[in-house]
Amino acid sequence: MQASGGFRSRKRRNSPFGEPGWHGPWDPELAAGRFTGRSPRWVRLWLPVIISFFVQVPAVFVQWRVQHRLEFAGASPTELLAPLALALVGPVALIGARRFPGPVVAIVAAAAGADLLLASGTDGPPYISFAFAIGAAIVRGARLWAWISIAVAWLGTITLSSLFGLDWQPWRIVGITIGILLIVGAAEGVRNRRERLDRFRATIATRRQSEVQAERVRIARELHDVLAHSLSQINVQASVGLHLMEKQPEKAAAALASIKDTSKTALDEVRSVLGVLRAESGTDPSAPLVPEPDLARLAGLAASVTSQGVDVSLDNRLGAVPQAVQLAVYRIVQESLTNVVRHARATTAGVLLEEVDGEYRVSVTDDGAGVSAHSDTSGGRGLLGMHERAELLGGTLDAGPLPGGGFRVVATIPKKASDSEKDVPQ
């Protein structure tokens, strides 16, 4: 997207982040989604609860029937309710795993240990909730809680199986150990991915903040260049019109016509700059709103300044020049001539464009009052903007009084700027 004044909004080809709103292969929002593969929040919250409930509760009845070989009605309610209550502890506790992952894993570990004492050696239902609780604790930063709970549960399993003479074969202990290691490994993997995502998002936020700040600087620079030059012309022509209104009305009318043309041009350029930020609906946002300033428009700029009483000579010795360089040169010349008209009290000014030792050189001189008259009354933004334009292309800008009177602005831009034109924010 281009606008008069060189304001551009484009994807940086060598940036992995792209631009906000660009849904390319490295769009931050889409990339973050692919990076994590995270499910909706309700799934992450309720799926472990649902799985634990519908596996553990039925398993209590199945185990009870297999062990006792009795109908459900023949079982003692007390004997049945105790393991059932322990099976329910896990799903209920997992509801709070997002906010209190540490206490939850400890509670579920205790329920698993209690079930071990009551279930006569089965690796029973509460261990499913325990697996989910371990994962939640590690992923959500309660790793110490998780490791302590794992250690207590694992050692407790071995110790209690020996003390109570439970039928725990070595393969069962090995299986539980491998299962715990797999759970911990998976949880650590998820935690690492989340940490990488946090760093990724922080990088994106920093990048976007920098881009927003750079965008503000570019907008301020473009608006200053457009308005300062145009308002300076309008001010001069208005003064001329007031002076000639009674004695030479035809010249006053010409001054008013010049004010009309200048203000129309300024409005078009300002509208173009702002249009980049908020394109009208139904328009192609990639199309230029008005032609971008280039070296071909310097002749018109010189004529415009000459009409304000400063005789401007233009000597353009440059051939083919990259568009980014043309824009920078145009704006530097425009700002320099604006300062000549506003401050220098000069009668003549010269603009020389040439190529010297592999550099594009721009020189603007005048025969005015020198440095004091060129002091920037706008708070230094004009001179600062010229410096920024040269530096963005790897060049330099010097401004100062001439020994015999007058003022000179010299900007040099290396030809290599054409190689990186696409990456330079305009």
Q: Is 38:44 a contact under the CB 8 Å cutoff?
A: yes
What span, in angstroms and rounded, lies between the C-alpha atoms of 413 and 354? 11
Mean of the pLDDT values across residues 121-128? 59
What span, in angstroms and rounded, lies between the C-alpha atoms of 113 and 101? 18
Is a pLDDT exceeding 80 seen at residue 233? no
Using the CB atoms, write b or e for 155-189: b if 16+ within 10 Å. ebbeebbeeeebebeeebeeebeeebeebbeebee
CA distances to 70, 166, 271 from 123, rounded to whole Å, are 21, 11, 73
Is a pLDDT exceeding 50 seen at residue 108? yes
What span, in angstroms and rounded, lies between the C-alpha atoms of 25 and 27? 6
Is a pLDDT exceeding 70 seen at residue 164? no
- Which residue type does 166 have? L
Is a pLDDT exceeding 60 seen at residue 318? yes
Q: 357-399: per-residue pLDDT in tens?
A: 889 999 999 988 765 445 554 445 678 888 888 888 899 999 9
**Residues contacting 150, CB < 8 A, separation 6+:** 109, 134, 180, 184
Is a pLDDT exceeding 60 seen at residue 125? no
Question: Residue 412: pLDDT band by 50, 70, 90 thresholds?
Answer: very high
Q: What single DSSP character describes residue 343?
A: I
What span, in angstroms and rounded, lies between the C-alpha atoms of 119 and 115? 6
Q: 202-212: per-residue pLDDT in tens?
A: 889 888 888 88
What span, in angstroms and rounded, lies between the C-alpha atoms of 140 and 102? 9
**Considering only 31-45, 53-67, 365-379, which range has the smallest mean pLDDT?**
31-45
Q: What is the mean pLDDT of the chain?
A: 74
Is a pLDDT exceeding 60 seen at residue 73? no
**Considering only 188-197, 232-241, 303-312, which range has the smallest mean pLDDT?**
232-241
Mean of the pLDDT values across residues 68-92? 69
Is a pLDDT exceeding 60 seen at residue 345? yes
Q: 245-303: per-residue pLDDT in tens?
A: 777 777 777 777 777 777 777 777 777 666 656 554 444 544 444 556 789 889 988 98
More confident residue, 242 or 335: 335
Mean of the pLDDT values across residues 173-187? 81
Is a pLDDT exceeding 80 seen at residue 65? no
pLDDT for position 275: 67
pLDDT for position 396: 92
pLDDT for position 309: 81
Q: Is 183:136 a contact under the CB 8 Å cutoff?
A: no
What SS3 class is residue 319? Answer: coil
Highest mean pLDDT out of 4-18, 19-33, 192-206: 192-206
Q: Is 326:294 a contact under the CB 8 Å cutoff?
A: yes
Q: Where are the domains of the chain?
A: 38-168, 294-426
pLDDT for position 305: 85
Domain 294-426: give its CATH code: 3.30.565.10
Looking at the chain, how many residues does it have? Answer: 426
Which residues lie across from 363 on neighbouring strands?
352, 410
Question: Residue 150: pLDDT band by 50, 70, 90 thresholds?
Answer: confident
Q: What single DSSP character describes residue 8?
A: B
- Which residue type does 167 have? D
Mean of the pLDDT values across residues 19-43? 50
Question: Residue 239: pLDDT band by 50, 70, 90 thresholds?
Answer: confident
